[in-house]
Structure formats: C-alpha cells, structure tokens
Amino acid sequence: MAASNGGAGGGPISAEASAALGEGIKLVFGRWTALQMAVENQWGGRDSRAKADELGASVLSWFCNSRGTYLPRFLQHPPLVSPVMTRGLVVKVPD
C-alpha cells in the first residue's frame, strides 16, 4: 500500500490525509481529560479553548510537515504538548 504522499519517503502528506489526521487529533484531544478540564475551568485564561485548538493545530502541522520517517524522540517526550500544557494551560500532567 502506498503512503499518502504518493509513496515518497517523508515530506508533506496529501490534503485528504491531513484532513483525516486532523479529525483524529480532534477526537483524541476531545477525550483527553486533563486538556478538557483545563479548557472547561479556563486554567489558561479566557482563551483556554483557543490555546487547546492551537495545540491541536501545532501537532497536526508537525505531522503534516515532518520529513522524518519515524518519531522516537517525539513519542518519548512530546515537545509540542508539554510546553503548551504547562505554560499555556497551567496543567501539570505526570508521565
């Protein structure tokens, strides 16, 4: 089965794949208890929803524009998630 980007190794993915991935990220983040509590209780201020949406957009952008073929460091210590959750939304999430 060919990759969504036409079988090329790494690089941006197709618009269809990006839309599907974006929907998946939205569903996962919608079920993420700590993130939803932060938004509902406005732990990041009045713009907590916007910050959560920005987090989702950042994760989607990273995956869509990454040129790597695998992400071991990203999966071990997510650089996009941790700073937003601890600074933007004031949430401490244990590993």
What is the reported pLDDT for 73? 53
Question: pLDDT of 8-26, one tens digit each?
Answer: 455 578 899 999 999 999 9
Residue 1 lies in a domain: no
CA distance 21 to 83: 22
What is the reported pLDDT for 40? 95
Residue 2 lies in a domain: no
Q: pTM higher than 0.85 for the full model?
A: no
Residue 84 lies in a domain: yes
Per-position b or e across 19-33, b if 16+ CB within 10 A of its CB = eebbeebeeebeebe
Residue 6 lies in a domain: no
Expressed in angstroms, the distance from the first to the final Cα of the chain is 35
Give me the half-sphere count of Cα atoms (radius 13 Å) on the Cβ side of residue 78: 18
Residue 8 lies in a domain: no
- pLDDT lower than 50: segments of the chain: 1-8, 74
Q: For tokens 């790597």, what's the residue?
A: 68
Domains of the chain: total: 1
Which pair of tokens denotes residue 78? 């997510």
What is the reported pLDDT for 28? 97
